[in-house]
Structures are given as structure tokens and as C-alpha cells.
Structure 1
Amino acid sequence: MDWKPDFSSETPLYIQIKDFITNKISLGEWAVGTKIPSQRALAELFNVNRSTVVSALNDLMAEGLLEGNTKGGTKVINNTWNLLAASPPPDWSSYVQAGTYYPNQPAIQHINRAEFQEGIIRLGTGELSPDLLPSEQMKQIFEKLSAKPFSLGYEEPKGNRHLREQVVEYLRDLHIQTSPSNILIVSGALQGLQLISMGLLPRGASILLEKPSYLYSVHVFQSNAMKLIGVPMDVEGIQTSLISRYKKGYNASLLYTIPSFHNPTGCLMPESRRQELMKVCADEGLPIIEDDVYRELWFDDPPPLPLKARDPNALVLYLGSLSKSLSPGLRIGWVVAPEPVIERLADIKMQFDYGSSSLSQRAAAEWMESGLYQQHVTQIREHLKRKRDLTLQLLNTYFLGIATWSVPSGGFYIWIRLTVDVPMQMLFDRAYKAGILLNPGSIYDRNAGSFLRISYAYAKMHELEWGISKLADLVKEISISAV
């Protein structure tokens, strides 16, 4: 809600708030059954005293628009004469609850909303900060494209042919041999996962993955009645010695992994572990989804070759993206797979959106063909390394004795384990009130209640300095009060 009462108006504030809520209900924006924000939250949103909000809500309850109780909060009921005299509106809340696609976890819904609030320091956000995005170069790219003949129509089902050819060249440097017919352009790697979940697997299938994992924070597979089975990790990644047992025990259909700069732990799977993983999955006939979106973000040495580069039996479905390295707003990624798989996924994608943005695809092709992409990525590595080093320095200054962590060699994340007793929800709430937004570990593993995913990618240097020092103060305050 971006509305605010007019403090210069002669109309009392509580009447303005009452009229605002009435309008929301009458337009159907707040349907019957909608739970409205708490009195405290509304007072903060409208920058008024809580008593002002209470006066507005009391009037609305008296008029039959709202009802409230201490347990269920305040909800829209709309028992007004206008409603009783006319056909009742649809109960949209029941429609919402009947939808088959799972909602985000409440914590993630909160984070998604809060990320766009002014003044918030985002210590968990998994994207590049706006000052690292190549806005001026992107303008030049689009100016260059505007001078060439191009179509504003749809692209072919697999995506822009020229872009797929550029992806082939890019992958060749990673020792992945493929062709344009084996590539599908998608609107980010997440859409690739959605297509795979809908097009290749039966309902009720089991998916093996690292625990913790980014995949727990989205409901791509769960919304299709599939089960995520976490396999424990160590410092080198997923424990391959457990895969056979887990595969047999859960009749798993495939394995999902982020071997390079894992989300959320930042772990880099070494060459030896990658060989072990490929061998055990080949022996078990277990296909692999390799999510390689962080590959380019290494600091000192490039990561080992992708799993897909050692895949003579077409065991691996490979996901790549420009969202983490170039621009999340372009919404450009790709799936590399055998041609029958690509044909199947392309058919489903055409039913979804009739193809990713043609303008974004042409811009991405220009970035890759011109060599500007690799130049940009080199600069991004340098910036991210400086931010990682600063974050590690700050952790050593403020978190020694209250947390442990590992040093990532690339990517966005440091996986922090608090070693003092701190209720994570309390820490999240107090940090948010102080202007700091966190990503609790429980988002990625329900048993990781003492962990935080700290990202150095989004916050500016001065924000990292203040945010981490303030966060340490909060941890210490809460841990002392809990004793």
C-alpha cells in the first residue's frame, strides 16, 4: 500500500483511513475473507497514532465491513445493506486457497515485499547491486540493435537462433559440445526448472538435492506433487557415498545440484567430487540437473569444468543464465539437453508465454557476440571479490566468538552459523525493524535454524559495514537476554 493520509486536509485522519479501506473493499481489491494488516502495521504504514487506526477500524466493524478477534486478526466480511440487497461478490479468498500452486513460504513473501522498501539494507539478496549492472552499456546495445533490421514478433519455439548459436560458442569454451537444436532459451533458469518439472517427471516423483538448497525456497517441484529429498553435504558438496542409498530408498527420478558456488552455502565442488558424482549417477542411471548460474563469478581461479563437460551419455540437463552475471531484468537463461527433451520443453514453454522476450534475446546475443559480456564479467569478479573481502573482514571484526563461516571462492554467499542461542524469528524481526533484511537458513533447510545466508552482492560497501556491525550487536543483545 503506497497510500498515505493527507495531514493538511480538514478531513480527520481516521475518516481518511476509513474511506481508504472502504474503497479497497468496494472495488474488490480486499475481497471477503481478506485478513487486513494489524493495527500496529497500519499505524506504521500511515504514519499515524495507533488510536487513529483503531477509530477507523471500529467504525468499519460497526458498519459491517470488518470483523476482528484476538486470534484470527481483522478480516473483511462486508455484511452491509448494499451487499445484502444485491448479488454477493465472489469469495476470492476461497479461490486463492483452492489454487494448486503452492504459495511462497511466509518468510519469503515478507522478504520479497521488503526488498523494495526504501532505506532497507539487503544482507541476503541474491543479485548484483544496481551500481554493478551495466546500464550505460545496455543502452548502447539497444541503440546498436535499433540501427539494424529486426522484428517485434515472436521468436521460434526454442528461442532466437542467433542467440542459441552464441550460447553454443560460449559453452564450447567450457568444453560442452552441443548445437543450437539442443538449446532452449528460457526466461531465467527458474523457468527451466518449471518446464522440467512439468514436462519430464510424473506427479509424485522424488528429487534428490543438496541439503540445504535454494530449491527448498521455491515450490517448482512441490507444486506438482513432487518430493524433495535432501542429501547431506560436506565441505566439498553433496556426499556422493549416500546417493545410491537415497536413490533406492526414495525411488528418486533425478538429482538437482549447484556444483559451482552453491546457493546458499557458497561451496565449490572440486574436480574429484565431480568425477565421483558423475560415476555414481551413471551407475545408478540417475539423471542430473546441473544449475550452473554462478559459474562465471569466480575470484582467483576458475571452477572445475561443468558436469555437462564430462557427459558422454547425455545424463546431465544443464542450466545457465545471465541473471547473476549480467542482468536479472533481461530474464535470459538456457537449458542444454538431448533434442527430444528440448522439443518437449519448448512445446510447454510456447503454451506458457509463447517465448521469452525477443528484444531481450537479441540484446543477449549482442552482448555475447561482441565480447562485451566477458569484459563485463571480468569487472564483476573484481568488484565482488572486494566486497567478499570486506565482508570477511567485518565478520572477523564483529562475529568472532558468536558465529562460524567458510570462505567462498566465488559466487554471492557466505553461510554463517550462529554459535550462540538466538531465536531466528526474533533476530529477523529486530533486524528488519532496524532496517536490515536477512535471509534465514530455514528458508533453505527447515533444520538450519541457526544459519544465515549473507550476500555481499547487493548491499553497497558502507551498507555492509553498518549492517554487519549492527547485526552483530543484535545477536549479542538477544543472546544475553535469552540467558
Structure 2
Amino acid sequence: MKKPKYQMIVDFIKEKISTGEWVIGSKIPSQRKLATMFEVNRSTVITALEELMADGLIEGIAGKGTIVTNNTWTLMGNRNPTNWNKNIALGIHNPSVSTVQEINEAETNNSLIQLSKGELSPDIFPTEEMKCVMQKVSNQLEPFGYEAPKGNIKLRQAISDYLKLRGINVSPASILIVSGALQALHLISIGLLERRSTVFLEMPSYLYSLTIFQSAGMELYGLPMDSKGVMIDSIYQTRQKGKNILYTIPTFHNPTGTLMQEKRREELIRYCEREQLPVIEDDVYRDLWIDTPPPEPLKARDHHGNVLYLGSLSKTLSPGLRIGWIVGSESVINRLADLKMQLDYGSSTFSQLIAAEWLTSGLYDRHLEYVREQLMIRRKIALETLDNFLSLYATWEVPQGGFFIWVRIKSTFKVKKLFEKALSRRILINPGSIYSEKSGQYIRLSYGYASLEEIKKGIIQLSEIIENNRK
């Protein structure tokens, strides 16, 4: 006889508790998430939770959600259990905010329309070319162990050649291979900066959705932007001197898509050199230009080692390779290389060899041409659908590259409600609040990942949600 649906939820939760996966003090998934997991309505979930509460296993606590309060062993005896739960808040690295955690998990759900993801669609992934590259690398493979501290020399030379075409003259000795730009930021935060330093950054910024610098004891200080990039006067007006750095995404900024103009770049570099303000330039979106190539990187104008430059193949080729790089003065790269060896003893050799083959064979440049063609099509579909269905309720700027359209929802409808109702319709968007508290009326829409039909369907449904739920 088939179990009632509520009993399936009861058994699932009891199993999690009895095996110690959900220990006492753990917060169980929300009613909405359980309803989605088991494809039932909320009332069925509530019935299951009520039974578990009656059994003394869980309890609803105001402000905390539903918490595991007992397991079968504590119900049978009078001993207090020991577990790791009390240590969760003791770690030195802060947790992500709850909305970011929810988005991170939802991005693994292939049944959702992903208007949130900052990566290329599987439709654009060069499957056959990647198979050929992997086969070629495999055929040439020799026994390999740990790489040099800075990374595979063949890959570093390939990146050096690649960067010269983009205006950055740097030798392999000043390049460190990292497992994506996020690891680069982590290494910088623990290896180069003092506690209680201030990190200047654009507001809004992708960095606000992370806790890398805050966990290392630093503060973030948001700077206003205009259509040409970060406003330099706002740095001067802070009057802060000393232990400060600037983090910037000048090319197809995340989340706004803004492209810092040539003149602004020149002014920014001059200002930072004069004020001795170190710069982290996050340039992972550079190759995703659609209309015209962007201005040269800030690093191309840096002749004093003031700029640490971050690049990656995650946005242009594959995030699964986990290949990125840091460019800086040789002494700084030596310091960061030593730290990386202490953390993971080097990025995957196989991934590095694959990346080197892509960069040296000409395949990467040909792939980028195809990527730009596809992004132009996707941007066109997204903008046309926005014009046709969302123009009454929102405004936006046209990005010249990257993945994102920064959409301002008019104040008659709250974005928090839009996020929740969109998710209930199996559409995932990124609310602007995760990039800045002042961006609560914005959403970041990605046209990079979802299929063309999904892009249209998702935007149309967003307009329906707003139309049907206006104040």
C-alpha cells in the first residue's frame, strides 16, 4: 500500500535526524522548500511537521524557523548529546546571507528557469572541442605530481602571451594560477591586507554577496557609480588614509553591466597612484564584449605594481575547469604562491594542461567569436522581451557585454515579493539587495545561461507576477 504523501515527509525527516545528518539544533528546510522537494502543497507539509512536533523531534522557534530539538536517543534517555552544532558560529569565516545560500542551492536545480546564473549556457559550451582537447592532453600525458608553486609553466606562458594582446606585458614569473577568481580574493584577503583595513568598491557590487573580506576583519565601503564607472571624487571625499584598497570590476561590472570608460580609467589610475591606493582589478568578463572591444585594463596602465589583476576562464569557457590567475609584482605573487601551497598545494595539473591547450592552439579565440555571437542574440531576445512586457513596470540600461541586465523595478512592487513568487513559478532571479542594501528595488537578470525560450518565458512571467500582485 502506497504511503500518504505527508508520511513520506515524516519518514524523510526522521531518517535525517536518526542518522545524525540533522543534529539537535539544526534548522530544517522551509515549508516552501519541502513542498518543492516532495511536489506537494503547503498543507501536506504542515501535517507532516505537526506529527513530528507531537513526537517531540522538532519545534518551531520564533525568528529561527523549525529546529530539531530531540532525536530518538535523547527521547529514550536523559543525557545531553554532543555534536558540532555549537561550533557552527565559532568559525572565523562568516556565513553567506540566507538569500545567497538559497540562490546557490537553487542554481543547481535544472528544472528552474535560471535567469540568475553568471555563466554560459550548456548550449554554448564547446563539447566536441573540449573532448578533442582532453583527448589530446590525455594522449600526451606523462606521470605528474604537484605543480610548481605558481602553477604550470606552460599555462603561465600561455597566459602571458594572451595578456600581451590585451595590453598587459607580464612574464610568467609574475602570474599565479588559482582555482578561480574567488580563490584569488581569498588569498589576497589573508595574505596581503591588515585587519581593520577598508575595502573601497562600487556600490552595488558582487563582492557584497560574499563575506571574504569581512571574515578577514575588513570593512567594505561602497562608492557611487555613474554610467562611466566608479566616481573618483567619492573616494577622495571619504578622507580615509592608510590601510585602504580599491576593488573594482571596470569591464561589464557585476551586477550593473557598466563599462568604465577610457578617460575614467586613466583618471582612476592616476588618482590611485598619487594617493598610493592599491587596486584589485577583477577582469573576468573582459572577453565577453558584444558591441566593440572594451578599453585596455587598468593593469595595462600600471607601471608601478599598484594593480593586482584577476582573470579567469570560468565565464568564457568553463567554470568546471577552476582555472584563474592573479597578475602582480613578482614579490607579491611569490607571497600568494606560498599561501596557495599551504591551502591546496596547487590547482589541478590536468585542468591546467587543458587550459594551456585552449590558449595556445587558437581554439580559445575562435570559441570567443562564437560566444559573442550567441550573447548578442541572447541580449537581443532579452531586451525585446523586456521592452514588450516589462517596460510599464521597470527601467534598465543596455549592457555592452557580459551576462547581466540591471533592472530597476518601480516602487509599486517589492522585489522581495517578486523573488519569492518567481521562485514559486520555478524562475530564479537575483534580487539587488544581495549586492547592496540600497539596491532593494533592482534585480539582476542574466541572459547568459537560460535557453532563448526560457529567457522569453521567464521575463513574461515576471511581468505577469507584477501585474497580478500590484498594490
Give the residue type in structure 2 aligned to 1:19: D
| Matched residue, 2:89 | 97
**Is the alpha carbon distance of 1:175 and 1:472 closer, same or farther for their aligned partners in structure 2, counting shifts above 3 Å?**
same
Residues 427 and 478 of structure 1 are in contact (CA less than 8 Å); yes or no, is this contact kept in structure 2? Answer: no
Distance, in Å, in 2 between the alignment partners of 1:377 and 1:172 is 17
| TM-score, scaled to structure 1 | 0.93
Distance 2:415 2:85 in 1: 30
The percent identity for this pair of structures is: 51
2:61 and 2:67 in contact (8 A); partners too? no
1:179 alignment partner in structure 2: 171
Give the Cα separation in 2 of the matches to 1:46 and 1:172: 53
Aligned to 1:396: 387
Q: Are the counterparts in 2 of residues 32 and 92 from structure 1 also a CA contact under 8 Å?
A: no
| 8 Å CA contact 2:18, 2:72 repeated in 1 | no
Structure 2 partner of 1:457: 448
- The letter for the 1-side match of 2:107 is E
Letter in 1 for 2:303: P
Using the alignment, how far apart are the partners of 2:447 and 2:304 within structure 1?
38
1:131 deviates by 1.1
Alignment equivalent of 2:202, drawn from 199, 210, 223: 210
Q: Which runs of 5+ in 2 are unaligned?
A: none
- Superposed counterparts of 1:221-236, under 5 Å: 221-236=213-228
Aligned to 1:262: 253
Matches for 1:10-29 after TM superposition, within 5 Å: 10=2, 13-29=5-21
Give distance in 2, aligned partners of 1:71 and 1:301: 50
Q: Give 1:34-433 correspondences, 5 Å limit.
A: 34-39=26-31, 41-48=33-40, 53-54=45-46, 56-68=48-60, 72-78=64-70, 80=72, 85=77, 88-246=80-238, 248-249=239-240, 251-433=242-424
- SS of 1:130's equivalent in the other structure is coil
In structure 1, distance between residues paired with 2:165 and 2:217: 38
Q: Distance in 2 between matches of 1:181 and 1:122?
A: 40
Q: CA RMSD in A?
A: 1.9
1:134 shift after superposition = 1.2
Alpha carbons of structure 1 residues 119 and 281: separation in structure 2 relative to 1, 3 Å: same
2:427 maps to 1:436: yes
TM-score normalised over the length of structure 2: 0.95
Q: Cα 1:11–1:397, aligned 2, differ >3 Å: closer, same or farther?
A: closer
SS at structure 1 position matched to 2:102: helix
Q: Contact 1:206–1:251 (CA<8 Å) still a contact in 2?
A: no
Question: Judging changes above 3 Å, is the alpha-carbon distance between structure 1 residues 202 and 77 closer, same or farther for their aligned structure 2 residues?
Answer: same
Q: Is the 8 A contact 2:24 2:71 kept in 1?
A: no
Deviations 1:110-131 (A, max 9, x none): 1111122232111121110111
How many correspondences in the alignment? 471
User: Is this contact kept in 1: 2:313–2:324, CA < 8 A?
Assistant: yes
Name the counterpart of 1:31: 23
* CA shift for structure 1 position 34: 1.0
Unaligned 5+ runs, structure 1 = 1-8
For 2:301 and 2:32, the matched residues in 1 are separated by 57
Change (3 A) 1:38 1:441: closer
CA distance in 2, matches of 1:207, 1:104: 18
Measure how far apart 1:300 and its partner are.
2.3
How many Å apart are 1:74 and its aligned residue? 2.7
Report the AA paired with residue 354 of structure 1: Y
Tell me which amino acid in the other structure corresponds to 1:459. A
Q: How far apart are the structure 1 equivalents of 2:389 and 2:46?
A: 42
User: Corresponding residue for 1:4?
Assistant: none
How far apart are the structure 2 equivalents of 1:410 and 1:10?
53
Contact 2:17 2:71 in 1 (8 A): no
Equivalent residue letter for 1:450:
Q
